[in-house]
Structure 1
Amino acid sequence: MLGIRFVKVEPTDFVIQYRRGKVVREGTGLSFFFFAPSTSLVRIPMGSTDVPFIFKEVTADFQEVSVQGQLTYRVADPKKLSELMNFTVSAAGDEYSSEDPEKLPQRLINLTQVLTRATLKSLPLRDALGQSGDLVDSIQRGMQTAGTVESLGIEVLGVSILAIKPVPETSRALEAEAREMILRQADEAIYARRNAAVEQERSIKENELNTEIAVENKKRQIKEAQMEAKKSVQRMEREISEAEMEARISLEQKNADLVELSTANSRKEADSRAYAVAAVMKALSNTNPRILQALMSADMKSGQLVAMAFRDLAESADKIGQLNVTPDLLRELLNSDKS
């Protein structure tokens, strides 16, 4: 209506209002009315933007690779960017009036490709495929020092390399070589495992043999100790037997001395008795036997006297005609002896 428009800008957009070539207002998240015939609006997104890229480059050994990644950036200084590129929007405020906003990501991608080419041309294929991290660091350092990025007021938030791939023929060749290497490593691992198993088995056998040797040595030591103990016991038994034998010999020697002494004493005693008997017999040789009998009968009992009387009767039996001895007489004689 009469050229008056209303615009409302998002908090992530920076807007600059020009009227007759002068800045009327600027800022993020503004909303205002403006007169379209005499007003120009510059709208610059301040939020982060992700720009995917994919391009082909050549490594130091002339092998073609495709690099796929993503660049993340934001507008740090919208005034610088508005001075170098046209971000003017239409009067309706919903679309840009030029193609510069679409060219900005391509400029950054071109710079990324230049930095990538500078890094890959010094790397052989194998190193390039395995050093995506070094490539990212190189690109980020190049972005920070590049005058183009600084002059546009752009801040690069990050660079991600998603894939570095060779051409299919080279990829198959590398896969075959890697496959053969993996198979060779697998074979080496199998051989190493077998060798380790053999070595382990040999070690186990050696340990078993060492254990058996140690057991046999211990048995030999035990047997030697037992034999030594038995020898010691036998030696002690022999010493005890010898001591007992010596004691017996000493005892027998003493017994022999005792017997000899006893025999000598008995001989002397017999000689003494014989001498006494001889002296008595010599003294009695001239004595009347009747006197001797009378002397001997002095201490005899009645029974002994009766026996002597009967003996005398027997000696004089030829002189006795008849002698009657009744049982009563014998009983009386014997009873008188008991009484």
Structure 2
Amino acid sequence: MLGIRFIKSQPTTYLIEYRAGKIVRSGTGLSFFYFAPTTTLVAIPAASRDESFIFQQVTSDFQSVTIQGQLAFRISDPTKTANMLNFALRADGRNYESDDPEKLRLRVLTAVEVLAQKSIKSITLKEALLASDQLAAEISTELGQHPEIQALGLEIQSVSVLAIKPTPETARALEAEAREAILRSSDDAIFVRRNAALENERVIRESELDTEVAVEQKKRTIRETQMEAEASIRRKKQELRDLEMDADIALEEKRKSFVAKNAENTKMLAEAEAHRVAAVMQALEKTDPRVVQALAAVGMQPAQLIAQAFVGIAEHADKIGQFNISPDLLQTLLNKPNVTEAGNGRAS
């Protein structure tokens, strides 16, 4: 009625009332009456907004990837936003006069795409597929410092990169490569396991050989000890034999000295006896043989005297004509010495 209207804004809507080109009032959650023909209302949503994005980029190795993510931002300075874009309401106070509010999200998403392109084109495909967190951090940092974002009075709350996907053909190729890598890893694991088994077997065999070597060395040590003991015993026996031989040599030397001394003594006795006999013979050379015979007969046995008598008869046989000896006389001569010996034995 008469152009006077009422408007009520939400707590998340920043409302600005312009009249004659000047701000009359502004703030969130305002409600008031205004005169429509002379008043311009600007409604700027101050609530946090979530915008999803998905676009394709090319990596440094010329591979296409699809980047999918989500952006959260809000208008922190509505005055700057109102100066950059037209958020004026129509006369009905419900709809915007232009499509600038829609351009706000497009500008933000364009800035995100430019920053994503800048980051993606400097890395390879494989690096890009693993760079979700890194890409989100870089976009969030650079977007908050972007001149256009600051001029629009926007605050970037969060940037999330949900997925970075290659084309289906590239994905299949990467899957095949990864599959081959997994198979190679499996083969390598089998090879390593077999090598480990062979190594363990070699270690066990070496341990057995070391044990055998140790046993043989122990046997060798025992044998050497036994041989040393035997050698020591043989040395002791040799020393005993040497001592016995030295004793025998010393004994033989003493025997040799004894024999030499005995021979010398015997020689001296023989020489003395020969000298005595020579002296006796020299004394007897001038004596009558019959006297010598008589002296020799002194102390002879009767049988010896009879034998000597027969010797004398035999020597003068040429002077005897006939000499008869009867058996009785001969028997008497032979028996008489026994009787005499018996008598002498009794007399003694």
- What's the TM-score bracket when you normalise by the shorter of the two chains? 0.5 to 0.7
The amino acid that maps onto 1:31 is L
Partner of 1:109: 109
| Matched-pair contact (CA < 8 Å) for 2:15–2:30 | no
Given the two structures, how large is their TM-score scaled by the length of structure 2?
A: 0.58
Distance verdict in 2 for CA 1:220–1:151, change over 3 Å: same
The 1:229/1:121 distance shift into structure 2, 3 A limit, reads same
Counterpart for residue 35 of structure 1:
34
1:5–1:91 CA contact under 8 A, matched in 2: no
Is the contact between residue 120 and residue 128 of structure 2 (CA under 8 Å) also seen in structure 1? yes
For the 8 Å contact 1:53–1:70, the answer to whether it is kept is yes
The amino acid of 2:42's aligned partner reads V
Partner of 1:78: 78
Partner of residue 186, structure 2: 186
User: Hey, what does 2:150 align to over in structure 1?
Assistant: 150
What is the rounded CA distance, in whole Å, between the counterparts of 2:219 and 2:43 in structure 1?
101
Distance 1:225 1:67, change over 3 A: same
Conservation of the 8 A alpha-carbon contact between 2:9 and 2:15 = no
| CA 154–8 in structure 1, closer or farther in 2 if over 3 Å, else same | closer
Residue aligning to 1:167: 167
Tell me which residue corresponds to 1:51: 51
Runs of 4+ in 1 over 6 A off after TM superposition: 219-232
Q: CA deviation at 1:27?
A: 2.0
Give how far 1:6 is off: 4.1
Task: Tell me, yes or no, if the aligned pair for 1:7 and 1:93 is still in contact at 8 Å.
Answer: no
Matches of 1:165 and 1:204 in 2, distance apart? 51
Equivalent residue pairs, number: 239
Counterpart of 2:305? none
TM-score norm. by structure 1 comes to 0.59
Give, in whole Å, the separation in 1 of the partners of 2:92 and 2:10: 12
Unaligned ranges ≥5, structure 1: 235-339
Structure 2 CA distance for partners of 1:74 and 1:222, relative to 1, 3 Å: farther
Letter in 1 for 2:46: M
Range with greater deviation from structure 2 (214-223 or 89-98): 214-223
**What amino acid does structure 2 have at the position aligned with 1:5?**
F
**1:167 Cα deviation from its structure 2 partner:** 1.3
In the superposition, relative to structure 1, how do residues 212 and 17 fare at CA in structure 2: closer, same or farther (>3 Å)? farther
Task: For residue 8 of structure 1, report the CA deviation from its aligned partner.
Answer: 3.9
The correspondence of residues 1-339 of structure 1 with structure 2, limited to 5 A, is 3-10=4-11, 12-28=12-28, 30-37=29-36, 38-90=38-90, 94-214=94-214
Percent identity over the alignment is 50
Q: Which runs of 5+ in 2 are unaligned?
A: 234-348
Write the distance in 2 (CA, Å) between the matches of 1:219 and 1:122. 74
